Amino acid sequence: GQLFLLWLSLLLPNGGDGEATKVTFDPDTAYPWLIVSADGKYVISGNESQSVPDNSKRFSRSPCVLGSRGFTSGKHYWEVEFGNQREWAVGVARESVERKEYLRLSPEEGIWAEGRWWLRRRDLSSQGAGWPVGKIIVYLDYKAGLVVFYVEGKVIPMSASFNGERVFPFFYVGGGVWLKLNF
């Protein structure tokens, strides 16, 4: 966390201050095949659909889950540990993100994310073999419209347009993948 903030303070014009934000997975938004731990810190892609109620918040066609806390202001960051080099992504999404149809992980859909998924397999690791296990930090500066990712010693900034809408931590969890929240 501290090394990440140092990187940001050197790279961003407004510095990289921010608050380490406790984030948990919101089970009410989780795709039915995702299993969220009771404490909300772990999610794994399961082998079958869970018996969960369908509600307006739940993703029903894409293996996604949101964080339980949304933001309309401030600077926040959280760390995500991931396992398995298959499809996964982390970032932020607008509250109005589509939940009942298949998603494209793109700003046009209200999602700003980094990771590996079928339409975009950018390999950010220096080894070129993907990340079997690793950590990624997501930094959100709501007012500046900025989402920054720190992974494998690389800083990846993304401009964002939230239009005053609440945004939530966003997680795409492909088959066999697990994610753990460390803050």
**Domain residue ranges of the chain, discontinuous segments joined by +:** 2-181
Torsion over CA of 86, 90, 96 and 102, rounded to 10 degrees?
Answer: -10
DSSP β-ladder status, 88-94 and 111-116: antiparallel
**Measured distance CA(178)–CA(46) in Å, rounded:** 9
Q: What is the DSSP letter of 58?
A: S
Residue 7: phi, psi to the nearest 5? Answer: -55, -50
Angle at 49 between CA 99 and CA 57, to 5 degrees: 25
Highest mean pLDDT, choosing among 33-42, 72-81, 134-143: 33-42
CA atoms within 13 A on the CB side of 102: 3
Place of tokens 């202001």: 73
Homologous superfamily (CATH) for 2-181: SPRY domain (2.60.120.920)
Please check the confidence at residue 40 and state whether its pLDDT lies above 50. yes
> pLDDT class for 125, splitting at 50, 70, 90?
very low
Helix (H) or strand (E) holding 80, with range, is: strand 75-83
pTM for the full model? 0.86
**Measured distance CA(40)–CA(129) in Å, rounded:** 30
**Measured distance CA(2)–CA(171) in Å, rounded:** 23
CA-atom Rg of the chain in angstroms = 15
Please check the confidence at residue 7 and state whether its pLDDT lies above 90. no
Identify the weakest region by mean pLDDT among 10-14, 93-97, 106-110, 134-138. 10-14
Contacts with 85 (C-beta within 8 Å, 6 or more apart), sequence order: 116, 129, 130, 131, 132
> pLDDT class for 132, splitting at 50, 70, 90?
low
Is residue 172 within 8 A of residue 113, CB to CB? The reply is yes
87-98 pLDDT, tens digit per residue, is: 899 999 999 999
Tokens encoding 79: 């760390």
**Measured distance CA(100)–CA(171) in Å, rounded:** 16
